[in-house]
Amino acid sequence: MRQLLFPGQQSDESIYLVVRQHWVILAKRLVIWVILVAALMIFKHYLPLLGPGILKGPAAPLIDMLIQVYLLFLITSLFIIWVLYYLNMYIVTNERIVDVDQKGLFSHHVSELNMEKIEDVTSEVNGILGHIFDYGTVYIQTAGTRERFDFENVPNPGHITKIILELYERATNNPHLIKHR
């Protein structure tokens, strides 16, 4: 039995692309997380120098509790960074485009667009990092109720645009041609 990747996937639907944000975006978030971890380590190192008896006095339990809460925040934020990176995905099949948008730990939104409703596909690369690592945004203009699909910070946006346009051409010229890859 074939495993389905997203809700509503048809058994005869071929998946051409599953794209997540570029790893540079994840790396940026992890760098911020590492800075917050370093701040905790620096705080713990220099705390005894601020007041020699501070860790043995009446404020010690409060300081220890604040450190533990901050550590809990760090662990939770690392988990959230990974979950949001991993569960946000863009899927291109022979019949449609699916945008799975994880809004938080307990909330996600799935949008679908049939290939026949595509009006225009554009890719855009901005910034030095975008050009060095080849990531950017793919804009898909539609004729549906949602006017535009945005694949934000995806790797190889030009390649993704090309694949979507090829699938659109196949879908509009010969719908039976793209049933099987």
At 145 the pLDDT is 65
Q: In this structure, what DSSP letter does residue 99 have? A: E
What is the per-residue pLDDT across 105-163, written as a single tens digit (0 to 9) for each? 888 888 888 888 888 999 999 999 999 999 999 999 887 666 788 999 999 999 999 99
The closest alpha carbon to 6, from 85, 77, 96, 124, belongs to 96
63 and 46, same structural domain?
yes
Percent of the chain past pLDDT 90, that is, above it, reads 52
pTM > 0.85: no
Q: 128 and 74, same structural domain?
A: no
Q: Clarify whether residues 169 and 94 are in a common domain.
A: yes
* 37 plus 104 within the same structural domain: no
Whether residue 66 lies inside any domain: the answer is: yes
Q: Report yes or no on 95 lying in a domain.
A: yes
Residue 1 is predicted with a pLDDT of 45
Are 64 and 109 contained in the same domain?
no
Say yes or no: 131 and 111 in one domain. yes
Per-residue pLDDT, averaged over 74-87, amounts to: 95
Q: How far is CA 32 from CA 38, 39, 83, 133, 166, in A?
A: 10, 11, 16, 19, 39
Instruction: State whether 95 and 77 are in the same domain.
Output: no
Beta-carbon count within 10 A of 139 CB: 17
Q: Are residues 41 and 104 in the same domain?
A: no
pLDDT of residue 125: 95
Q: Does 94 share its domain with 166?
A: yes
Same-domain status, 74 and 95: no
Range of the domain at 39: 27-84
Contact 94, 11 (CB under 8 A): no
Tell me what pLDDT residue 137 has. Answer: 95
Number of domains within the chain: 2
